[in-house]
């Protein structure tokens, strides 16, 4: 049964959580962490409550009076795509918050940290559950503010430099997004993305420029080459909890936005034209370049977090390639949900949970060993068995190995690619290159596993009791960190073995 005002509550609960978490952390940081985690858990329940409505009507909507002079309503919705990504985002927020209880213990200004974490969740989830373009942009920008302060305030060596780079790049991308949204309103007089889709069909000329502006802005958030420069620094310098959300949710928001706005709202106006085909082919090319660039750098990097960061660039290449397989002639108001679309959305979900687990595991390793160079590690499997099992699970999923999550979604993307090749021969070589990229993913994942967990320890701190007084013996991660990783391990395995829940949910979509 759908909870009344369920999506509105998804906004209200974390908003109330901002001051509540701040004051709770003044007395107990553990209580603040549990409070934010419980809000995320409640929001998971609220989104789940909409699934019966989605199953029967393909979409669940709420609409409230907001800005009458612009005819803009506070419109919230979930369908199979947005519900899938919103749910996995909330799972990551839950895991990252639980992980923070031990990981952030003893750090300064924790009341502010937990308040910012609650604020961040508003923007992260809000992007996926609104069809109003103004509210979408508000949430898009809201992600940036707490992300900047969390990376800068609780990061590692040059945290504010990395945070500033994150801010400049993603804010520059947001300018293009704002220009695109403004052009949609000036052209159609509408602020709802679904209503604007039909109205833009009469404006194919301006739609081309809107499509380019929106996609460029969203590609910055995705960190697609050559717009990726902010990501390695931000991910490597951010605290592990923020890295998990950056890679698991924030860059995924860029992929979702391209699917929902660029392709779903604007692209139908140019579908079937030479420009439309060239645009999709361009997405495929940038996807291939990103997949190879990220994989090659990950193969030679030695910093444990930068390896995972470059892996994120590579996997956004897979997603961009999947987006390029979007139907070349969508029906107005509806689209056939092909294997490519199902695989792409499922890969956003699977990559989010797998990469979130990967970053939390790396954070646990750094927390317990006080090292980040994989050349100084080795032999950690015996000293940190739970963290080792979690890391290996994440690495094998990212490598596309069965029976873990990313294997299924990558397989569906390639099935979709082979379907498209029969009608568009351009995709022959991009598909071949993407298949080769999967081999590179396996290579850097196996290198990571061997260097960190197998063989003999290459440093006293990494796996041996030091003879000098004051050196600590490496032990496994504490309880809440294990709990957070355990939640994500379960999802990575279940999504690999039984992906039917999300596949069936995505296939209910009637309009993108």
Phi, psi of 61 (to 5 degrees): -130, 150
Q: Where are the alpha helices (DSSP H) in 375-475?
A: 380-383, 385-398, 405-421, 428-453, 460-463
Residues 6+ apart with CB under 8 A from 326: 259, 263, 267, 280, 340, 341
Residues 350-367 have a mean pLDDT of 94
What is the per-residue pLDDT across 442-459, written as a single tens digit (0 to 9) for each?
999 999 999 998 877 766
Q: How far apart are CA 285 and CA 289, in angstroms?
A: 6
Residue 144 lies in a domain: yes
Q: How far apart are CA 93 and CA 99, in angstroms?
A: 10
pLDDT surpassing 90 at residue 50: yes
What was the pLDDT predicted at 333?
Answer: 39
Residues 6+ apart with CB under 8 A from 238: 150, 151, 155, 156, 159, 162, 246
Structural domain of 106: 6-464+472-506
Residue 428 lies in a domain: yes
Q: How far apart are CA 434 and CA 404, in angstroms?
A: 19
Helix axes of 428-453 and 405-421: crossing angle, nearest 10 degrees: 160
How far out from the chain centre does Cα 254 lie?
Answer: 8
pLDDT surpassing 70 at residue 364: yes
Q: Is the peptide bond before 493 cis (omega within 30 degrees of 0)?
A: no
Residue 254 lies in a domain: yes
Residue 102 lies in a domain: yes
3-state SS, 283-294, equals HHHHHHHHHHHH
What is the per-residue pLDDT across 287-336, written as a single tens digit (0 to 9) for each?
999 999 999 999 999 999 999 999 999 999 999 999 999 864 444 334 44
Residue 57 lies in a domain: yes
**Paired tokens of 361:** 């595991």
Mean pLDDT of the chain: 89
Residue 1 lies in a domain: no
Residue 55 lies in a domain: yes
What was the pLDDT predicted at 470?
Answer: 44
Instruction: Note the pTM of the prediction, 2 decimals.
Output: 0.92
Q: How far apart are CA 415 and CA 10, in angstroms?
A: 36
Residues 6+ apart with CB under 8 A from 353: 88, 91, 92, 248, 405, 488, 491, 492, 495
Residue 511 lies in a domain: no
What was the pLDDT predicted at 67?
Answer: 84
DSSP 249: I
The total number of structural domains in the chain stands at 1
């Amino acid at each position: 049964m759908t909870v009344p005002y369920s999506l509105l509550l998804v906004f209200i609960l974390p908003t109330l959580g901002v001051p509540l978490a701040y004051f709770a952390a003044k007395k107990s940081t553990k209580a603040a962490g549990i409070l934010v985690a419980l809000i995320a858990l409640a929001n998971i329940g609220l989104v789940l409550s909409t699934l019966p409505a989605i199953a029967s009507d393909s979409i669940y909507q709420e609409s409230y009076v907001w800005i009458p002079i612009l005819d803009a309503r506070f419109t919230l919705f979930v369908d199979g795509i947005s519900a899938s990504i919103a749910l996995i985002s909330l799972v990551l927020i839950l895991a990252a918050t639980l992980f923070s209880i031990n990981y952030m213990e003893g750090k300064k200004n924790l009341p502010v940290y937990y308040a910012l974490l609650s604020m961040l969740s508003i923007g992260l989830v809000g992007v996926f559950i609104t069809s109003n373009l103004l509210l979408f942009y508000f949430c898009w920008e809201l992600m940036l503010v707490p992300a900047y302060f969390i990376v800068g305030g609780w990061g590692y060596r040059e945290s504010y430099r990395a945070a500033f780079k994150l801010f400049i790049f993603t804010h520059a991308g947001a300018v293009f997004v704002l220009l695109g949204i403004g052009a949609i309103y000036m052209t159609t007089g509408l602020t709802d993305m679904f209503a604007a889709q039909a109205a833009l069909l009469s404006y194919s000329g301006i739609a081309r420029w809107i499509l380019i502006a929106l996609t460029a802005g969203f590609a910055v958030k995705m960190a697609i080459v050559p717009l990726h420069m902010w990501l390695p620094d931000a991910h490597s310098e951010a605290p592990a909890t923020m890295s998990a959300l950056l890679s698991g949710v924030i860059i995924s928001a860029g992929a979702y936005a391209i699917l929902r706005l660029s392709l779903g709202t604007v692209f139908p106006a140019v579908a079937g034209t030479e420009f439309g085909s060239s645009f999709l082919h361009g997405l495929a090319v940038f996807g291939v370049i990103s997949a190879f660039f990220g994989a090659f750098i990950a193969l030679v990097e030695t910093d444990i977090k930068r390896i995972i960061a470059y892996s994120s660039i590579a996997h956004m290449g897979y997603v961009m390639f999947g987006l390029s397989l979007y139907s070349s002639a969508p029906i107005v108001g509806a689209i056939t949900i092909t294997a490519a679309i199902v695989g792409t959305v499922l890969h956003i979900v699977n990559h989010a949970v797998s990469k979130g687990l990967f970053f939390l595991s790396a954070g646990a390793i750094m927390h317990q060993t006080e090292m980040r160079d994989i050349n100084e590690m080795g032999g950690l499997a015996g000293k940190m068995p739970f963290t080792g099992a979690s890391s290996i699970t994440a690495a094998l999923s990212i490598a596309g190995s069965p029976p873990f999550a990313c294997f299924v979604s990558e397989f569906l993307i390639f099935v979709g690619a082979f379907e498209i090749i029969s009608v568009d021969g351009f995709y022959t070589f991009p598909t071949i290159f993407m298949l080769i990229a999967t081999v590179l993913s396996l290579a850097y994942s196996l290198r990571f596993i061997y260097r960190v967990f197998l063989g003999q320890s290459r440093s006293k701190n990494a796996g041996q009791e030091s003879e000098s007084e004051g050196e600590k013996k490496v032990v496994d991660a504490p309880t809440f960190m294990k709990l957070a990783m355990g939640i994500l391990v379960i999802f990575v395995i279940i999504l690999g073995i039984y992906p039917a829940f999300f596949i069936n949910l995505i296939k209910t979509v009637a309009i993108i």
